[in-house]
Amino acid sequence: MRRFRPSQQGWALLLLVVLVAAGLRFWQLGETPPGLYRDEAANGLDALDVLSGNGQERSPFYFEANNGREPAYIYLTSLSLAILGNTTAAVRLMAAVVGTLTTWFTYKLAATWFDKRVGLLSAAVWAITVWPIHLSRIGLRPVLLPLMLAMVFWLGTLAYRRSRDGLPGAWLWLLTGFVYGVSFYTYLAVRFTPVIFGLLLIYLYLTRRHRPLWPGVVFFAAGAAVALAPLIFLALAQPDVLFGRLGQVSIWNPDINEGDLIGTLWRQTWRTLGLFFVAGDDIIRHNPPGRPMFDLLMAIPFLAGFVWAVANWRKTAAMTLLLWVGVMLAPTILAEDAPHFLRAVGILPAALIIPAIALSHLWSWPKIPRALAQGLVIGLLLVSAAIGIKDYFGVYAHQAETAYWFEAAATELAAGMTNEDPETAVYVDRRFWDGWPSIRFLVDQDRMLDLYSPGELATGQIEPPAAVYAWPYERLDETALALASPALVSGKTGSLAQGDLEPVAYPLYVRYASGPVDTLNEVSDESGLANFDNTIQLRGAEISPLGDGRLQVDLFWSLISEEVDRQLVAFVHIVGPDGLIGQSDSVPGDGNWPAPWWRKGLIVADSHLMALDVPYEENEHQILIGLYDAITMEHLPVLGEDGVPESESWLWQP
């Protein structure tokens, strides 16, 4: 049997780590997290403008909308949109690609600073940690910064060593500077990095290791200047564009510090320091709420690695890690909502190399058997990965709040519009189009829509087949009256939504639909199945037992009298030998078609979904259907052919 050499084993393990990182970043990319948040959608819309050539009047180096955004991620997104089209996965694809690539560059950086084992362990920690996983699964620009910083420090280290060893390296210094300049087109927090380099220069000077920097820093500065030139000119011409966002979120803003700057700074600092293993970001879009960066299994190696770095501060790599992490905590300390896992993204991947150092020491610790030490390291990584996968994909991805904060209801609404039959006229309340960028982005560009505002729909204006997506909290009666008769009409409530500052979740929309009456032929009887008080007629019924113990009963109502002046509730009761096993009571039309809206010629579809105590059996169970007044609770009697009341409900025998 062929044996791998150590170098081959190392590359095989690195490939395995990269594949794990890729799997955790690409799996169900379009579905987890659920929805598409408006900031992601804004990137998608700008990327569409890039592809189409729109927006040429603005600077190509900075996108001013949505509080201002650096352009790199938007240009990358335009590439994925060109391939995949307007989809959630397309907006997030480049984040997953970048997150996976960062695994390799984290390895290269740590291996260059320490050794290949530390590099491999650093890459593994990056691959399995929840924070980097999440950054790689949302279509936002912060994920680019860790990649760029890893590249800059790795290339800079190579350039420094070539100069130290007397080898020509001007081109490498120039490349490092250029990559550093490009990093300013990724994310706002990069503006703190000059502080790292300034402190590092002082450190190298004090420890007499500064000589290899000359004349390399000149080439570094030249490369950075070339890349930064467009941004510098933009900053000189329009300083408010680049620096306006800082004033909005800074703790120097009196609205944020409430007159207590020192106290606010103290609290922000302690909260930020706790992000490593005490409490993380509470904002659901950024993180499983409150989850720290490291679970307990990785918190201990992090602390041990930090102690090692402090004790070995004379080593350039150790001091650089400390400076890197310390300085890049400033963006979240100095802004509201600390710890903020987007503003703090600049500490990555340095903060993940720190526990890898401790794990590497444990791997070769001479005081315990080698196999046991290595088993402990592998076990810590595997169990930590399992905890992270459970927390992220098992809990966080399925929390209702996650769907709310990623605006999954708006994504559902957009999918509904796109998937309507091409022959169906689609009417949409304009506030959805104007207020939710994800809807504008996700709706098929070829889908013709009729946008309307309240008060613009005329009675009988909308001929079937049609679908109307309405805001549920204003003038729904106008929407109902706009559907022309005769028609089969229905109403369906959309998923729940909840904004950042809204205390409770609420249905985002109601979909009203109208279709030809003849689509009911198979389950409808023109003479009616039951007459309720010469007011409402049950025209048809359909039963659908579901395999999970639920039963769906679809009813079809029409008006007998000229109008209904009271609120009626339809009920479906499933009765067995031992009594009631399931029931559903609601306003007809899934709660969206109150009886006073009914008109002659309309048939109202009404769906009742019930979870039954026992599985439905046609020969054992009875289905009772009826109507009652929501105020008086009085039942509408079922009339016989002679007009005499026979019962308070109709017994359906399928």
Look up the domain containing 639 and give its range. 524-652
- Does position 164 have pLDDT exceeding 90, yes or no? yes
Task: Examine the domain organization and report whether 489 and 536 are in the same domain.
Answer: no
Full DSSP string of 247-284:
HHHBTTSHHHHTT-HHHHHHHHHHHHHTTTTT-----T
Look up tokens 């559903």; give the residue.
584
Residue 531, class by beta-carbon neighbours within 10 Å (0-12 exposed, 13-18 middle, 19+ buried)? buried
- Widest distance between CA atoms in the chain: 110
Task: Report the pLDDT value the prediction gives residue 259, as an integer from 0 to 100.
Answer: 79
Whether residue 187 sits in one domain with residue 329: yes
* Residue 187 near residue 340 (C-beta atoms within 8 A): no
Of 461, 494, 515, the position where a domain reaches its end is 515
* Cα 603 from chain centre: 39
| Positions of E strands within 405-535 | 425-429, 449-452, 466-470, 487-493, 496-497, 506-507, 510-515, 530-532
Answer yes or no: is pLDDT of 4 > 50. no
Residue of higher predicted confidence among 478 and 234? 478
The strand pair at 645-647 and 602-611 is best described as unpaired
In single-letter form, the type of residue at position 62 comes to: Y
β-pair type (638-639, 645-647): antiparallel
DSSP symbols for 60-125: TT-B-TTT-B-SHHHHHHHHHHHHH-S-HHHHHHHHHHHHHHHHHHHHHHHHHHS-HHHHHHHHHH
Under DSSP, the state recorded for 651 is E
| Predicted local distance difference test score (pLDDT) of residue 60 | 76
Mean pLDDT of 11-17: 93
The answer to whether residue 528 scores a pLDDT higher than 90 is: no
DSSP at 335: B
- Assess contact for 150 and 179: CB atoms under 8 A: no
Provide the percentage of residues in the chain whose pLDDT is more than 70. Answer: 94
| Mean pLDDT along residues 468-493 | 92
> pLDDT tens digits, residue range 101-131?
999 999 999 999 999 999 999 999 999 999 9
| Domain termination site, one of 379, 403, 427 | 403
Residue 526 has pLDDT above 80, yes or no: no
Report the distance separating Cα 36 and Cα 40, nearest Å: 6
Hey, what amino acid is at 114? F
Number of domains in the chain: 3
- 319 near 203, Cβ under 8 Å? yes
* Separation CA 348–CA 340 (nearest Å): 13
The answer to whether residue 51 is domain-embedded is yes
How many Å apart are CA 629 and CA 568, to the nearest integer? Answer: 5
pLDDT band (50, 70, 90) for residue 1: very low
When pLDDT is cut at 50, 70 and 90, the band that residue 649 belongs to is very high
Residues contacting residue 176 through CB under 8 Å, at least 6 positions apart: 152, 155, 156, 159, 220, 223
Are residues 542 and 460 part of one domain?
A: no
pLDDT score for 500:
83
| Averaged pLDDT for residues 626-635 | 95
What's the average model confidence in pLDDT over 147-165? 97
210 and 285 fall within a common domain: yes
Does the residue 238 lie in any domain? yes
* 106 and 211 share one domain: yes
How far CA 63 is from CA of 53, 57, 143, 586, in Å, comes to 14, 11, 18, 49
Indicate the length of the chain as a whole number: 654
Q: Taking the mean position of all CA atoms in its chain, how far away is CA 21?
A: 19
Single out the residue of 397, 441, 442, 437 nearest to residue 416, CA to CA: 442
Bridge partners (DSSP) of residue 554 are 542, 607
d(CA 397, CA 405): 12
Residue 425, strand partner residues: 466
Least confident of 234-248, 296-310, 556-570: 234-248
| pLDDT at residue number 63 | 77
* From 239-243, 477-481, 611-615, the region with the lowest mean pLDDT: 239-243
Answer whether 410's CB lies under 8 Å from 439's CB.
Answer: yes
Measured CA to CA, the distance from residue 432 to residue 321 in angstroms comes to 47
Same domain, 308 and 454: no
Of 486, 515, 544, which residue is a domain's last?
A: 515
Q: Does 194 have pLDDT greater than 80? A: yes
Instruction: Report the CATH number at residue 595.
Output: 2.70.50.60
Query: Which residue in the block uniquely carries the two structure tokens 């990069």?
Result: 190
pLDDT score of 580 more than 80 = yes
Residue 63 lies in a domain: yes
The helix/strand/coil state of 571 is strand
Query: Which candidate, 125, 133, 145, places its Cα nearest to that of 33?
Result: 133
The helix/strand/coil state of 409 is helix
Whether 1 is in a domain gets the answer no
For residue 334, what are the contacts with CB-CB under 8 A and spacing of at least 6? 250, 251, 252, 265, 268
> How high is the mean pLDDT of the chain?
92
Residue 495 lies in a domain: yes
**Better-scored residue on pLDDT, 132 or 12:** 132
- Whether the per-residue pLDDT at 6 is higher than 80: the answer is no
β 487-493/602-611 pair status: parallel
Give the whole-angstrom CA distance, residue 387 versus residue 288.
13
pLDDT, greater one: 311 or 476: 311
Same domain, 491 and 602: no
191 domain residue, yes or no: yes
Tell me phi and psi for residue 129, to 5 degrees. -75, 135
Q: Which two tokens stand for residue 405?
A: 């904060």
- Residue 472 in any domain: the answer is yes
At 57 the pLDDT is: 63
Residue 171, both tokens: 């081109």
Residue 90 has pLDDT above 90, yes or no: yes
The burial class, CB within 10 Å (0-12 / 13-18 / 19+), for 608 is buried
- What percentage of residues in the chain have a pLDDT greater than 90? 78
Query: What pLDDT sits at residue 260?
Result: 80
**399 and 418 share one domain:** no
Phi, psi at 13, each rounded to 5°: -65, -40
pLDDT tens column, 392-446:
999 999 999 999 999 999 999 999 999 999 999 999 999 999 999 999 999 988 8
What the block records as the tokens of 593 is 């078609």
Structure confidence at residue 250 (pLDDT)? 75
Same domain, 181 and 287: yes
Non-local (6+) Cβ contacts of 87 within 8 A are 30, 442
Q: How far apart are CA 136 and CA 143, in angstroms?
A: 6
> What is the average pLDDT across 354-377?
94
**Are both 114 and 156 inside the same structural domain?**
yes
Residue 524 confidence class, pLDDT cut points 50, 70, 90: low
Separation CA 36–CA 243 (nearest Å): 27
Residues 435 and 570 in one domain: no
Write out the two tokens for 132: 């980097």
In tens, the pLDDT along 50-79 reads 998 876 666 677 777 666 688 999 999 999
- pLDDT category of residue 618 using cuts at 50, 70 and 90: confident
Q: In what order do the strands lie in the sheet with 536-545?
A: 449-452, 425-429, 466-470, 510-515, 487-493, 602-611, 550-559, 536-545, 530-532, 638-639, 645-647
The answer on 481 and 335 residing in a single domain is no
In this prediction, residue 241 has a pLDDT band, given cuts at 50, 70 and 90, of: low
